[in-house]
Amino acid sequence: MHTVTIKPQGTRLKVECRIYPTKKDMHAAAHKFSGSIYSNIGRKTEAYCECTPSLLPRGFFAVVFFYEKGMTNGILAHEMDHAAQGLLYRRGHRQLPISIDTATPLEEEHCYILQDLVDDFMRKCSLPMYA
Ligand SMILES: [Zn+2]
């Protein structure tokens, strides 16, 4: 497993990305990490973002699970969107129907729109920096 720790501006909290060799490894790790308290880690789960504070290591606002062959720029954007919305929730924002538990339908819709935008951009952009 590879880990990448991200420290965004404007917060003392970090995000840890855990990248597993296979989807099976990622699912097992995500289930173990979350204690299987959420039912949203299924066979179709391509990545998973956990924002529930009681499950996280101290100093983190999200732990995100990926597997190597399942990563696209869009999936990365999707999970980081969940992390960002989790941070907004922890900052006390309640204007959006967002959650630190199971993602709300609107949160999930936002994440999928961002994922599709990024993946389609990456497919169509021919600038050398994106090749
Ligand atoms: Zn999602």
Tens of pLDDT, residue by residue over 84-100, are 999 999 999 888 887 78
Of all residues in the chain, what percent carry a pLDDT higher than 70?
97
pLDDT, position 36? 73
> What distance in angstroms lies between residue 47's CA and the mean position of ligand 1's atoms?
8
pLDDT by residue (tens digit) across 70-127? 999 999 999 999 999 999 999 998 888 877 888 888 989 999 999 999 999 888 887 7
**Which residues have C-beta under 5 Å from ligand 1, the single-atom ion?**
108, 111
Phi, psi (deg, nearest 5) at residue 60: -120, 145
The pLDDT > 90 percentage for the chain reads 69
The region, left, alpha or beta by phi > 0 then psi within -120 to 50, assigned to residue 92 is left
Q: For the chain, what is the largest distance between any 2 Cα atoms, rounded to a whole number of angstroms?
A: 44
Q: What is the pTM of this model?
A: 0.88
Distance 98 CA to ligand 1 centre (A): 12
